[in-house]
A and B are shown apart, each in its own frame.
Chain A
Amino acid sequence: MDKNDKNIVFPPMGPLARAILESISDGVFTVDREWKITSFNKAAEEITGIPREEALGKPCADVFRSSMCESSCALKKTMETGHPVVNRPCYIIDGEGERIPISVSTAVLKDEKGNIIGGAETFRDLTEIEYLKQELGGRQSIGELISRSPAMKPLFEMLPAVAESGGTVLITGESGTGKEVLARSLHFISQQKEGPFVTVNCGALPDNLLESELFGYKAGAFTGAVKDKPGRFHLARGGTIFLDEIGELSLPMQVKLLRVLQDKTFEPLGGTHTERSDARIMAATNRDLQADVQKGRFREDLYYRINVICLHLPPLRERKEDIPLLADHFIRKMNSAREKKIQGLTPEACQYLIDYHWPGNIRELENVLERAFVLCRDELITPDYFPGELIATSRGKTTSSIQNVAQRAEESAIRMALKENGFNKTRAARALGIHKSTLYRKMQRLGIEVDS
C-alpha cells in the first residue's frame, strides 16, 4: 500500500479488486451520478498526467477533457441506455496541450439492489499505435533516409527499383545533403544487404595511399609492407563499395578505377595475380562531373561508367518541410546516445531553423542541434542555444517586428560599448549596466564575435 492510499475513494470494493484496478495498464475512473470523479487509478494518472488527488471530486469533463465530452459522451450514453460502449476512439488533451489518442469503453455501476450509483470508464493509450500508423502513412522512409518533402518524392519512388537493379549508382548533391546515408539506405534494401558496406573517401588520401587502400598490397610490395593487406574492393566482396568524393580522383587513379568498373578485376600492389570484385559500386560527388569532363579534369569513359543510374539529393533549403522531422530524428538519436530526455524544440527555435538557409545542409543541422543538445539544460531547446550566425541570418529574414527593432538597437549598443572600452568585455558590461555573463549571452545570441 502506498502512502497515497488514503486519497483513493474507490466505490465499495475489496482489497483484491482495488489491487487489480491499480495494476492494470488501462486507465480507469468512476463517477457518481453528479458526474464527479470518485476513483482514478494509477494508469489513469499516467496517461492523463493528472495526479489522483487533483482529479477526485472534480467534474469528469474537466479532468478527462476528451473530444467526446461535449457532444457525444460515451458514459452519458451508457448511463441513459444501460448499454456499454466498447473501444470507441477519441482523443484527450493533456496539461501540455498534446492530443493523446485513446479508445474508451464504459459501463454502469450498480449497488446490491440494482440501483445505478454511477459509471465506470476505461481508456487505453493509443499513442504508440497512432505513431506507427503515421510513420507508415505520412512520411517516406527507406533505411536511415527520412523525408516528407515533395522534393524527395521522385527519389523515394525510384529507390526500390534502383536497389534491385544492382547497377552502378552515382549520387550527386551539395556537401552535407546525406549522400552516404542514401548509399547506405540503398545498400540495406538491395540484394547485397547481407554483404558489407565499405566506404572510401577518395578525396582524403594521396594517390599512392589511395591505391593501396582500394586494391590492397602484398607483403614486400614496399618498405614497411611486412604482410598482405586486403584492399577495400576485396573487403567489399558480396556487398557494396561506396566511393565518396569521386570527383577528387587524380587522372591516373581514374584509369585504375576504370579497369575495375570495366573488367571487375584489380591487382593488389606487388601482387602477381588478378583478383575479381563482385562488389556493387556506388559513387558520390558534390562536383559537376559533366563540367569536369568538358574541362578535361574527369575522364569521359569513367564518367559514363559510373553515371549508369544518377540520383540527386536536393539541398536542405529546398526541402525545409523536413527540418522539424530531421530535428526530431536527431534529438531522439542524441537522447538515446547520451541518456538525456530533451523533448524537442520550442516553436520559436523551430522557426529559426526553418528561416536559416543551411549552406552546410543536413550535416550543419545535425551539428547545430548537437551543440544545442549539449548546452541545453531544459526539456526544450530554445534559440538561446543556437550559434549567433544562425540567429543573425534567420533574424534578417523575418519581418521588422518591434522585437527585431529592439534587437538591432541592443546589438548596436553592445558593439558601441565594446568599441569604446577597447573590446574589454568586463568594462563594456559595466558601461551597459549589465552583468558580464549577460553580455556574453547576448553577444552569442546576436552573433557578435568575441574578438570583434
Chain B
Amino acid sequence: MKVAISHWQGRIAPVFDVSAEALLYDTDLSHQAVLHLGESPYEKINQLKREGVDILLCGAISRSIMEMFASYGVDVLPFLCGDVGEIFHRWRESRGDVAEEYRMPGCCRRRGRGRPRWGQRGYGKRNE
C-alpha cells in the first residue's frame, strides 16, 4: 500500500491545494521518495494516481479536490497537522486513523458511527 503525505518544512503542509511537495511511503517501509507536485489540483491528483498512491494524508484541502480524489479512488485523510514522520508512524500503528492531537484546530472530529462526515475517510463515496 502506498501512502502520500503532503509535506512542508518537516510538517504536514497546511494547505494541500497549494502544497509543492509530497513524501511517498510504502507501508512496509521498503521505499520512500519525494514527489514535487504540480500547481493545479488536476496535476497533483494525476501525479499521485500515476505513482499508485492509495491514500493521501494532508492538511486542509478544498472539498472539491477531496471529492475529485474520491472519484479517482484515492482515499484522503485530511486536516492533519504536525510532524510528518510522527504522523506516518501513528497512522501506520493505528491501522488507518490518527489521534485527535494531530487534527487541525476547528476540524471535524469523529462523532459516533455511521456515514463518514466531511473530513473523515470515505466521505463522498456512494454508500447505500
Contacts and interface: CB of A to CB of B under 8 A. Distances in A.
- A and B are interacting partners: yes
B124 to A, nearest CB: 6
A347 B67 contact: yes
Contacts of A347: 67, 124
A61 B61 CA distance: 13
Contacts of B124: 347-348
A69 B13 CA distance: 9
Nearest to A380: B118
A59 B81 contact: yes
Interface stretch (B25-33, B42-50, B89-97, B102-110): B102-110
15 contacts: A51-B106, A63-B104, A63-B105, A67-B17, A70-B8, A70-B14, A93-B61, A95-B104, A95-B107, A95-B108, A95-B119, A98-B63, A401-B126, A403-B126, A445-B128
Interface in B24-69: 59-63, 66-67
Interface string A50-87: 11001100110111111101110000000000000000
Contacts of A403: 126-128
B15 interface: yes
B67 A95 contact: no
A70 B19 contact: yes
A97 interface: yes
Contacts of A413: none
A112 interface: no
B18 interface: yes
Nearest to B106: A50
B68 to A, nearest CB: 11
Nearest to B70: A347
Given A51-B106, A70-B18, A71-B20, A62 B81 contact: yes
A301 B119 CA distance: 64
B15 A95 contact: no
Interface residues of A, number: 34
Contact of B15 (A59, A63, A65, A407): A65
Nearest to B8: A70
Given A50-B105, A407-B128, A71 B62 contact: no
A239 B54 CA distance: 63
Q: Chain B interface: which size bin? A: 20 to 34
B23 to A, nearest CB: 15
A51 B105 CA distance: 8
Given A48-B106, A65-B59, A70-B18, A97 B126 contact: no
A93 B106 contact: no
A65 B61 CA distance: 9
A61 B106 contact: no
A57 to B, nearest CB: 10
B104 A99 contact: no
Given A59-B11, A96-B119, 6 more contacts: A93-B61, A95-B119, A97-B61, A97-B63, A347-B124, A406-B128
A409 B125 CA distance: 20
A160 interface: no
Contacts of A48: 106
Contacts of A410: 128
- Residue of B59, B60, B119 most packed against chain A (CB within 10 A): B60
A296 B9 CA distance: 80
Contacts of A70: 8, 13-15, 18-20
A67 B18 contact: yes
A377 to B, nearest CB: 14
A228 interface: no
B119 to A, nearest CB: 7
A64 B81 CA distance: 12
B28 to A, nearest CB: 27
Nearest to B80: A62
A143 interface: no
A407 B126 CA distance: 12
B37 to A, nearest CB: 11
A408 to B, nearest CB: 11
A258 B13 CA distance: 72
A94 B61 CA distance: 9
A63 B104 CA distance: 7
B79 A95 contact: yes
A50 B14 CA distance: 15
Contact of A54 (B61, B67, B105, B119): B105
A351 B126 CA distance: 10
Contacts of B18: 67, 70-71
Contacts of A351: 126
B87 to A, nearest CB: 12
A85 B119 CA distance: 33
Given A50-B105, A65-B59, A70-B8, A97 B118 contact: yes
